[in-house]
Amino acid sequence: MAMRGRKIHRREFVRRAAGSAAGVFAAPWIAPAGVLGRGDAPAPSERIAMGFIGVGGRGQAVMMEFLGCPEAQGVAVCDVKRTERERARDLVDRHHGGKVCAAHADFRELLERRDIDAVSIASNDHWHVLHALAAARAGKDLYVEKPLGLSVEELKALRETVNRYGRAFQFGTQQRSDRNFRFACELALNGRLGEVHTIRVSAPSGPGERTGSETWDPAPVPEGFDYDFWLGPAPVSPYTPKRVINPHWFHVSDYSLGYVAGWGIHHVDIAQWGNGTELTGPVEVEGRAVFPADDGLCDNALSWDVDLLYANGVRMSFTSDGGKNEHGIRFEGPEGWVHVKRGSIDAQPKSLLAGEIGPKEIHLPVSDHHQRNLLESVKTRKKTISPIEVAVRSDTVCHLSDIAMRLKRKLRWDPAKEEFPGDAEANRLLRRAMREPWRL
């Protein structure tokens, strides 16, 4: 039913665009003839029209992945930085061979466009959920970069809204679309290691990415940059260039949890997958961290070391200490281990790697291209490889780790109720207030 609705919009739009090029919906989607005949690619009017919100470095990379799929048609980009949105618009135009893409400064304008089917969101972390909520309420399908949100309450609100509007959702944990990660999880889930008892996870904390300066001077906001819009739900703070550039803002708590989520989410998500706990979570968490004392902007953890316990008895060690746990994810059982990271998989005994997963064993869903996997879901309405329910649970593990390392005491977690039972002092950290007028 949803697809039927979409197609009606498309026809309406094409009619309107053909009749008049003026008005709010005047994004020039009148494709030059050359675009129509791209091999066996669908004609533009049958493609999935996409908008891209947040088109800095990562946003443009994801955008180009989408545009590499013949069924995607870029029609709009949005960024509060003029240079970024114009560069991205030009990339889309060049890709499709014509003036097909509009550049918006305000995401709400982009979302008002009824011709857009799906949006890809790669804004700063503190905007992810607000952008995604607005897109879901506008009936768009979504790709959302990781990490998901700045509080567990944000995650839950997004899950509720995505499901309310029945939107296809893909979370940017693209390791799920990689054979090695999937195979490592299948080995763990099918008992090839015996009963897994330990999962070791390590991800970098990015200590070299801090500003490194104790003081800074407020600077004038550059022309063409809507700084107040960039801050959005975050507290007002004077502008300084380092605040808003990648990677420093990852390490400022007003905009991000830091790499415990920014990098950690990738491997934590695989750990949840291979542990068979992707729709639930740990029952206990205890953490330690070192926080910076001498950086003028950055206040997220410099390093962390977190221990989690699952109801199935599995213990997970999640740390930024690459000496303690090797970078990546390692599942350990009495009969062996498998370690996986980007570009490599290793196991003991080695023979595990040559094994095949039998027909009666657990086979995880297969995706070989993370962005195309969303586009397939837009058409079929089937679940993506990283759907919202999974995204919320994986991201929650990062939040629990962050909260535990701040409280520095052992916390119990109830994954069914998604709260710390009987612990109001920990539960208060599951939410954070947004600057007015922004709200969930």
Among 240, 277, 325, 373, binds another protein (CB under 8 A): 240
Q: How many residues bind another protein (CB under 8 A)?
A: 55
CA–CA separation, 385 vs 437, rounded Å? 34
Among 296, 326, 379, 389, binds another protein (CB under 8 A): 296
CA–CA separation, 210 vs 252, rounded Å? 9
Q: Which is nearer to another protein, 363 or 410 (CB)?
A: 410
H or E, element range at 406: helix 388-407
Q: Which is nearer to another protein, 114 or 126 (CB)?
A: 114
Among 68, 166, 222, 322, binds another protein (CB under 8 A): 166
x/- map, 102-131, another protein, by CB under 8 A? ----------x-x-----------------
Residue 7: partners with Cβ closer than 8 Å, 6 or more residues away: none
Question: Is position 1 an interface residue for another protein (rule: CB under 8 A)?
Answer: yes
Question: Is position 440 an interface residue for another protein (rule: CB under 8 A)?
Answer: yes
- Laid out side by side, the sheet with 141-144 consists of 102-104, 72-78, 48-53, 118-121, 141-144, 169-171
Q: Which stretch binds another protein (CB under 8 A): 19-27, 54-62, 89-97, 214-222?
A: 214-222
| Shortest CB 251 distance to another protein, Å | 12
H or E, element range at 403: helix 388-407
Question: Is position 418 an interface residue for another protein (rule: CB under 8 A)?
Answer: no
What pairing do the DSSP bridges indicate for beta strands 198-202 and 328-333? antiparallel
| Shortest CB 401 distance to another protein, Å | 15
Q: Which stretch binds another protein (CB under 8 A): 163-171, 193-201, 277-285, 338-346?
A: 163-171
* Backbone CA torsion sign across 278, 284, 288, 293: positive
- Report yes or no: 327 and 321 within 8 Å, Cβ to Cβ: no
Listed residue (395, 234, 110) closest to 121, CA to CA = 110
3-state helix, strand, coil in the chain (%, to 5): 40, 15, 45
Relative orientation angle of helices 57-67 and 82-96, to the nearest 10 degrees: 10
| Shortest CB 120 distance to another protein, Å | 19
Among 11, 164, 324, 382, binds another protein (CB under 8 A): 164
Among 71, 86, 90, 153, binds another protein (CB under 8 A): 153
Among 280, 291, 381, 389, binds another protein (CB under 8 A): 291
Q: Which stretch binds another protein (CB under 8 A): 176-184, 275-283, 292-300, 391-399?
A: 292-300
The phi, psi pair for 370, rounded to 5°, reads -65, -40
Question: Is position 24 an interface residue for another protein (rule: CB under 8 A)?
Answer: no
CA–CA separation, 52 vs 140, rounded Å? 12
Q: Which is nearer to another protein, 195 or 228 (CB)?
A: 228
Residue 176's alpha-carbon distances to 266, 286, 357, 365, in angstroms, are 9, 27, 17, 9
Question: Is position 218 an interface residue for another protein (rule: CB under 8 A)?
Answer: yes
Q: Which residues bind another protein (CB under 8 A)?
A: 1-2, 5, 9, 112, 114, 137-139, 153, 160-161, 164-166, 214-218, 235-238, 240, 288, 291-297, 299, 406-409, 422-425, 427-429, 431-440
